[in-house]
Structure 1
Amino acid sequence: MPSPSLQTLAVRGPRWLRLGAAALIACAALSPAAALDLTEAYRLALDNDATVRAARAAADAQRERLPQARAQLLPNIGASAGRAHNDLTRTQANILGQPVTSDERYYSKNASLTLRQPLYRPALWAALEQARAVVADADATLQAELDNLGPRVASAYFEALYAHDQLALVREQVRVAHIQLDAAVKAWQAGTGTRTDVDEVQARLDLLRADELRARQQLDFTRHGLRALIDREPDALAALDPQRLVLSPPQPLDLDAWLAKAEQGNPTLQALRARVQVAEQEVRRAQAGHLPTLDAYAQVTHSASENVTTPSSRYTNRSVGVQFNLPLYAGGAVDSATRQALAELTRAQETLQATRRDLGVRLHREYRAITEGIERVRALERAVAAAELAVTSNQRSWAAGTRTVLDVLNAQQQRQTALRDLAQARYEVLLARLRLWALAGESVEEEIERINAALR
């Protein structure tokens, strides 16, 4: 929407200003909205993706475990008070042996203030260390979700771009097939062509129209997938510019170095190590069921009219001391809890080991997808160039009468197939880079910025 000053100039200003203002207003009205690029899509997903929001909420909830565990080791202060109305009916024999009944009514009250400080409670200290490990697990799990978001957004973004590329290629094939059909019909009518050529081109055109419909459906599906991540309609997407794209192998060019990076920086491994620590502290908590506990306490109690014999008395009691508890027998519950905790520890350790091995396989796959994918891109670039030459040669040969119109269509289809495969190979290399970065615990956002520089 142009500013009011431009509108005023377009109506009331001098003629040269009116022309300039009108041109600016027309440009503002005709200029398309800026295309959504990969960086903007990633930032929108950071704010709107439901999975990331759920991970943040889960991390916030788990972080509260630490102050709760710490509170168990701090002084506990409690106060209580009560007031009661007592109605006592008493029957007893008098000096003559006759029963005498009396009713006595009185109020009683009591109030107390107690402070208790744990001095020796191994289970509580184990719970504190366990809470720290739980928080570390939550933070690492959240980071894993954030790192995984980059490849998820890039995958949805590139799928939408690839679907757009496919639709554009099919439309180009449809356009060329229309031209070839028109030429085949004219040649048949002029007596220089055959009905067979017309039928074959028509059949090819019908197949291409079916492919175009399928490509439209795929484009709509992929755009819906991207919209689910960013929570807005992606009106236009910034396309990949092959002239700006520089595909380089990962640095360092050593798979073992990437494995070492992942061992230290992968957030999923960090979360699993924290879970092993949680299980170790759970073993300590279970074993502490056999150990004694020692608390210090201080208490002040005030009471009045506690019983019928002293209805008017008041008491104030102050006490300071320590309390020692020694569990002797719990029916085998402590031993059972210890065995359960040891089994959970073994499970956590084995899960960590299995994930470490799986991470090595995934790193190897993504590393090879980059290094070999770059070679595939270069091979497909040569294939596209060769296909372009083949199309030109077949068109010239058809004009000379040595090739049929179907030969020209086949050459054009091979070129379009090579272009489609080339686009897919580029997207796969870029996505493999993001996945490798995420697995190794590297900055995914920086890699997204580098990829985004190759979009137009």
Structure 2
Amino acid sequence: MAQTTTTRAGTQTPVQVEVGTTAPAQTAQPTTTLRDALVLAYNTNPELQGQRANQRANDENVPIAKAAGRPGLNGTASASTSPYDSDSSQVSPTRTGTVGLNLSVPIYTGGAVRNSVRAAETRVDAGLASLRGSEADIFTDAVTAYVDVLRFEAIVRLNQQNAHVLEVNLQATRDRFEVGDLTRTDVAQSEARLALAQSQLRTAEANLIGARENYIRIIGAPPGVLAQPPALPGIPVDVQDAEQIALANNPNLEAAQKQRDATRFDVNSAKASRMPQVSVGVGTNYYNYLGSLSSQARSVTGLSPDGVSTTLGAQVNLPIFQGGRPAAQVRQAQAREASAIETVTLTERGVIAQVRSAYASYQSALRVIESSRIAVDANKLSLEGVRAENSVGTRTILDILNAEQELLNSQVNYVTAERDAYVAGFSLLAAMGRAEANDLNLDGGPLYDPGLNYKRVKNRWSDWGSDPEPQAVGTRTNQTPAQTPDVSTTALDPVLQRNDATRPVDINRKKP
């Protein structure tokens, strides 16, 4: 994969860095690219799907807040009978049934509804920013899982190769011991080093299985054969540029700022509880005496057996004393606003620290890659020289074993540095707000647009609207096969190849 470094002139110079050190081998298995993995995570990761559902629930707070300022219509029905009443007369009806319809329209709420709606709308914006942050976090986890698999595949291959070399060396050492050319100590040293290499191989295999299972957890499918990840775009030329971009675009910082803005509306909404409330209402009722009004009673009282009545009125509620509750609610809202203000500062601190740390890690990893590449080449030459010197008696078997171990260590450092560079670079892009679906050009189908649901529900009036029964979107992984440490379908980076890997020691050489 091509990384970039920055020159003093501020331009970006491509530097070829093979992150993960594995390239797809010639195999019948399909190759999975990083884009494929990110698309799968984007569409099926249950954590991301859950965050989207939470945002849809957050959208509903807007019509809920608006409902408090909308007309309310309710119906009433009642039926009653009076089997005994000491004050009743023979002409009084004993049964009554009524059906009514009442309409109430809020006229003035002191700003409570207006501020509640604005607070809800601002929290929708905060939720959208948080959802962007969740996308970036999932993509960062997915990229990390992807390159971790590549790294541990390479480390397993290196350890397999090292164990094979030590097996050949041990057999050669035993052969030379049999002819009296080496001592039992040389054989013991070779045996000990092989045992160590085999234990390192088992550890590397366990780490590879863990990396593959973590890949399945995040992305939802086994990794298969992974291709080299593409170059990271848009790495800034210096850390100051990265900071400015992050402060302007980081989704978590934007979410904190929106939450702070929403608490200001909460304060105004709390203050409205001390203001007058005005509403008007109209009601109509149909009543029926259910046959309990005799003709004599009708003639005496002038009552009809049924009828319709209509009322029209206005109501003013003027709070005078509420036991200190409104003031407490205002102070509480102000305290929450203060907390939200501090959260913005805390989040900003975290963003700055994340950007600076990721940028430093990225630059450091690039330098480690170059140093490790040099170390790998140097240790190859060193091993070649130690083998040659051993053939003339100036180096011992232990020198060869040490040279083998140093070569393995430098190769593992090289692989790890490549992984660290890619993860740090992507984390930097995420902190800058440039690691979301739109930035990554994912084309695995239409991108999820959380704004569509908000537009759909924000002005709903119906009391009977609902969505279809929720169904799981995130894929389960209980049917995926348990992973193994098999690396037969991967190939090592040419930088790590060892041309002398199986060359035996010359057992015909005599001691000088």
Which range, TM-score by smaller chain? 0.7 to 0.9
In the TM superposition, 1:168-247 aligns within 5 A as 168-239=157-228
CA distance in 2, matches of 1:71, 1:279: 20
Correspondence 1:426 to 2:418: yes
What's the CA shift for 1:103? Answer: 11
What's the CA shift for 1:267? Answer: 1.0
CA distance in 1, matches of 2:117, 2:151: 51
CA distance in 1, matches of 2:419, 2:120: 43
> Larger deviation: 31-40 or 401-410?
31-40
| Identical residues among aligned pairs (%) | 24
2:310 to 318, 325, 331: 318
TM-score, normalised with respect to structure 2: 0.74
Provide closer, same or farther for how the CA distance between residues 380 and 447 of structure 1 changes in structure 2, counting only shifts above 3 A: farther
Work out whether residues 30 and 224 of structure 2, in 8 Å CA contact, stay in contact via their aligned partners in 1: no
Provide closer, same or farther for how the CA distance between residues 177 and 137 of structure 1 changes in structure 2, counting only shifts above 3 A: same
What's the CA shift for 1:422? Answer: 0.8
Superimposed CA distance per residue, residues 146-186 of structure 1 (whole angstroms, 9 cap, x where no aligned partner): 01111101112222222222211111111110111111111
Correspondence 1:79 to 2:75: yes
Superimposed CA distance per residue, residues 333-362 of structure 1 (whole angstroms, 9 cap, x where no aligned partner): 111111111111111111111110121111
Work out whether residues 38 and 154 of structure 1, in 8 Å CA contact, stay in contact via their aligned partners in 2: yes
CA distance in 2, matches of 1:73, 1:215: 64
In structure 2, the partner of 1:59 is 55
Amino acid paired to 1:129: R
Superimposed CA distance per residue, residues 412-446 of structure 1 (whole angstroms, 9 cap, x where no aligned partner): 21111111111111111111111111111114457
Work out whether residues 215 and 223 of structure 2, in 8 Å CA contact, stay in contact via their aligned partners in 1: yes
CA distance in 2, matches of 1:433, 1:421: 18
CA distance in 2, matches of 1:193, 1:448: 60
In structure 1, the partner of 2:433 is 441
Provide closer, same or farther for how the CA distance between residues 402 and 323 of structure 1 changes in structure 2, counting only shifts above 3 A: same
1:395 to 380, 384, 387: 387
Work out whether residues 132 and 436 of structure 2, in 8 Å CA contact, stay in contact via their aligned partners in 1: no
> Larger deviation: 186-195 or 329-338?
186-195
In structure 2, the partner of 1:10 is none
Structure number having the greater helix percentage: 1
In structure 1, the partner of 2:28 is 32
Provide closer, same or farther for how the CA distance between residues 83 and 423 of structure 1 changes in structure 2, counting only shifts above 3 A: same
Local SS of the residue matching 1:411: helix
> Larger deviation: 201-210 or 435-444?
435-444
Correspondence 1:107 to 2:72: no
What's the CA shift for 1:280? Answer: 1.3
CA distance in 2, matches of 1:446, 1:335: 46
What's the CA shift for 1:39? Answer: 1.8
What's the CA shift for 1:37? Answer: 2.6
Superimposed CA distance per residue, residues 368-393 of structure 1 (whole angstroms, 9 cap, x where no aligned partner): 11222212211111111111111111
Provide closer, same or farther for how the CA distance between residues 72 and 247 of structure 1 changes in structure 2, counting only shifts above 3 A: closer
Correspondence 1:264 to 2:261: no
1:293 to 256, 273, 277: 277
CA distance in 2, matches of 1:187, 1:449: 61
What's the CA shift for 1:210? Answer: 1.1
TM-score, normalised with respect to structure 1: 0.83
CA distance in 2, matches of 1:133, 1:222: 40
CA distance in 1, matches of 2:437, 2:188: 53
What's the CA shift for 1:281? Answer: 1.6
User: What is the aligned-residue RMSD (CA, Å)?
Assistant: 2.7
Provide closer, same or farther for how the CA distance between residues 152 and 255 of structure 1 changes in structure 2, counting only shifts above 3 A: same
Work out whether residues 181 and 201 of structure 1, in 8 Å CA contact, stay in contact via their aligned partners in 2: yes
Correspondence 1:252 to 2:236: yes
Which fold has the larger relative contact order, with Cα–Cα distance below 8 Å and residues 6 or more apart in sequence?
A: 2
Amino acid paired to 1:376: V
Local SS of the residue matching 2:99: strand
In structure 2, the partner of 1:368 is 360
1:352 to 339, 344, 347: 344
Q: How many matched pairs?
A: 410
Work out whether residues 386 and 400 of structure 2, in 8 Å CA contact, stay in contact via their aligned partners in 1: yes
> Larger deviation: 392-401 or 120-129?
392-401
Provide closer, same or farther for how the CA distance between residues 447 and 65 of structure 1 changes in structure 2, counting only shifts above 3 A: closer
CA distance in 2, matches of 1:225, 1:433: 21
Work out whether residues 89 and 103 of structure 1, in 8 Å CA contact, stay in contact via their aligned partners in 2: no
For structure 1, the 5+ residue unaligned runs are: 1-29, 93-100
Provide closer, same or farther for how the CA distance between residues 232 and 200 of structure 1 changes in structure 2, counting only shifts above 3 A: same
CA distance in 1, matches of 2:281, 2:39: 54
CA distance in 1, matches of 2:196, 2:187: 14
CA distance in 2, matches of 1:415, 1:73: 74
Work out whether residues 97 and 287 of structure 2, in 8 Å CA contact, stay in contact via their aligned partners in 1: yes
Tell me which structure has the larger Cα radius of gyration: 1
Work out whether residues 123 and 284 of structure 1, in 8 Å CA contact, stay in contact via their aligned partners in 2: yes
Work out whether residues 369 and 429 of structure 1, in 8 Å CA contact, stay in contact via their aligned partners in 2: yes
> Larger deviation: 374-383 or 326-335?
374-383
CA distance in 2, matches of 1:257, 1:115: 59
What's the CA shift for 1:104? Answer: 7.4
CA distance in 2, matches of 1:112, 1:81: 6
Correspondence 1:381 to 2:373: yes
Local SS of the residue matching 1:88: coil
Provide closer, same or farther for how the CA distance between residues 382 and 91 of structure 1 changes in structure 2, counting only shifts above 3 A: closer
Provide closer, same or farther for how the CA distance between residues 388 and 68 of structure 1 changes in structure 2, counting only shifts above 3 A: same
Work out whether residues 90 and 103 of structure 1, in 8 Å CA contact, stay in contact via their aligned partners in 2: no
Work out whether residues 140 and 268 of structure 1, in 8 Å CA contact, stay in contact via their aligned partners in 2: yes
Amino acid paired to 2:39: R
Work out whether residues 66 and 117 of structure 2, in 8 Å CA contact, stay in contact via their aligned partners in 1: yes
1:117 to 64, 89, 105: 105
Amino acid paired to 1:367: Y
What's the CA shift for 1:312? Answer: 4.0
Provide closer, same or farther for how the CA distance between residues 46 and 375 of structure 1 changes in structure 2, counting only shifts above 3 A: same
Work out whether residues 235 and 425 of structure 2, in 8 Å CA contact, stay in contact via their aligned partners in 1: no
